[in-house]
Amino acid sequence: MIKSFGKELKEDFVIESGYTCVNHSSFGYIPKCVLKQRIENQLRFLQNPDSFIRYQIPKESPIVRKTAAEFLNANYNQCFFSSNSAESMNSIIKNLGLSDKDTILYLNIAYPMVQNVVKYMNTNHKVNVCRIELKVEDLKNEIILQQIEENMKTKKITVAILDNISSLPSIKLPTKEFVELCKKYDVISIIDGAHGAGISEINLKELDPDFFFTNLNKWAFCPCSVNLLYMKEKYLNQIHNNTISVFYGAGIEKEFEYYGTRDSSVILSVIDGINYINQFGLKQIIQYCENLAWEGSELVAKIWETELLVKDKTMHSAMVNVLIPHKDHSYILECQKTCFEKYNVFVVAFEFDGRSWARFSASLYNYLEDYEYAAKQFLNVLKKEG
């Protein structure tokens, strides 16, 4: 008997008792059944690591990669597991042979890790950068694409990076059109799909980017953290794992299978997470989460008497941004802390285009009251009434 989403499902998840979670997206929360299996896998590894690392992982890793690849409609021999998006992004960018003759294009709303990697390439390898500045009014597909194309037309861009779904602020980006533009102007496309698997319907064969990486722990119910790195075949001999280790030069598959002692048993949970999704159906999950994130955020905006950052529902996944009714961001961060300690709810707060915004996420165990609670308590603290 499958439980329905919302309150009923919450007890199936590993969530601190009494905690109101409106930020599923940063790290992800997992079902109890996934944790149970994870601990068993970990025990199996620890009981006989020689067996596990030397014999079992080489056998099981391709199977897990196949499951994940199938989930994203890609070839498994182009898919590899890393620990996180940072490892994937570092592995890509540092191995493209970029120099002062190259230019990287990215948006101002790119995740800080991506921006830092670009900065590193600029500082250490003199790679040129082209940063597109988006303001609130620019957060529309047509404008974003137009700005990207304008830059690709007028400058010689080597590599372009785009989020699948951005973090702060969080909106869906037009990845399909982006990849087409990259092909048109002969630009290498990298899609930061950190927010991707489990909350987007990803079809890599159709999308056909040069590179794509996605976390399995944010939305695909895998414990923190596992990342899948996809690349076109032509890069398989060029890209190396950012961490040089014993399998350097033995082929990219080996380089990602083992790159230093770690608990690689975590990748086995990828199958458990995907099975959990398939139990309900990805479409059903996406629909519930997107609708609730929207409804919940509109309720927050009502309670706060403010507004959503972007008023177009189609531009959102299961994360929506709401204007915070205060101008001092330092004060807001203090309130975030107080609200967390006092009311056991963590509200993501960030600055964008001169204002402060909150980001609300929704997953299967969330229900509308979570957002009402978060909104009211945060407001109480803001007004010093809490």
Partner 1 sequence: MNTFGQNIKEDFIIENGFVCVNHSSFGFVPKQVFQLRIQHYTKFLQNPDRFTKIDYPKYTIEIRKTAAEFLNADFNQCMLTSNSAEAFNSIIRNLGLTENDTILYFSTAYPMVQNTIQFMTSNYNVKQNRIELKRQHLEKQKILSLFEKQLKTQKITIAVFDNISAQPSLIMPIKELISLCKKYNVISIVDAAHGAGITVLDIKDLDPDFLFTNFNKWAFCPSGINILYLKEQYLNKIHHNTISVNYGNGLAKECEFSGTKDFSLSLSLIDGVNFIKKYGLNQIIKYSEDLAWEGANLVAQIWQTELLVNDKSMHSAMVNVRIPHQDQNYCRECQKKCFEKYNVFLVVFKYDDLNWSRLSASLYNTIADYEYAARCYLKVLKGEE
331 touching partner 1, by CB under 8 A? no
Specify whether the CB–CB gap between 104 and 128 falls below 8 A.
Answer: yes
In the set 4, 11, 39, 279, which binds partner 1 (CB under 8 A)?
39
Does residue 134 sit in helix, strand or coil?
A: coil
Question: In the range 338-377, which residues lie near partner 1 by CB under 8 A?
Answer: 340, 346
Give, in order, the Cα–Cα distances in Å from 158 to each of 100, 130, 150, 190, 345: 11, 10, 14, 11, 43
Give, in order, the Cα–Cα distances in Å from 228 to each of 82, 280, 305: 6, 22, 40
120 touching partner 1, by CB under 8 A? yes
Q: 5 or 29, CB closer to partner 1?
A: 29
Closest C-alpha to 227, from 242, 237, 238? 242
Find residue 360's DSSP bridge partners: 320
- In angstroms, give the least distance from the CB of 307 to partner 1: 25
Interface size with partner 1, residues (CB under 8 A): 57
Q: 49 or 325, CB closer to partner 1?
A: 49
- In angstroms, give the least distance from the CB of 134 to partner 1: 20
- In angstroms, give the least distance from the CB of 327 to partner 1: 24
229 touching partner 1, by CB under 8 A? no
In the set 75, 77, 116, 338, which binds partner 1 (CB under 8 A)?
116
Give, in order, the Cα–Cα distances in Å from 108 to each of 251, 294, 312, 336: 35, 24, 20, 24
Q: 190 or 266, CB closer to partner 1?
A: 266
Q: 143 or 246, CB closer to partner 1?
A: 246
Q: 347 or 382, CB closer to partner 1?
A: 347
385 touching partner 1, by CB under 8 A? no
φ/ψ of 103, rounded to 5, equals -135, 135
Only one of the segments 63-71, 261-269, 284-292, 370-378 lies at the binding site for partner 1 (rule: CB under 8 A); that segment is 261-269
Long-range contacts of 273-278 (CB under 8 A, 24+ apart): 273/30, 273/34, 273/198, 273/216, 273/217, 273/220, 273/221, 273/222, 274/67, 274/68, 274/71, 274/220, 276/31, 276/33, 276/34, 276/221, 277/71, 277/198, 277/220, 277/221
- In angstroms, give the least distance from the CB of 301 to partner 1: 22
In the set 33, 35, 136, 168, which binds partner 1 (CB under 8 A)?
35
- In angstroms, give the least distance from the CB of 195 to partner 1: 12
84 touching partner 1, by CB under 8 A? yes
14 touching partner 1, by CB under 8 A? yes
Give, in order, the Cα–Cα distances in Å from 87 to each of 90, 109, 117, 172, 276: 5, 20, 11, 23, 26
- Cis peptide bond prior to 169, omega within 30° of 0: yes
Write out the residues near partner 1 by the rule CB under 8 A.
14-16, 19, 23, 26-30, 35, 39, 42-43, 45-51, 53-55, 83-87, 90, 111-113, 116-117, 119-120, 215, 217, 223-225, 242-246, 248-249, 259-263, 266, 340, 346
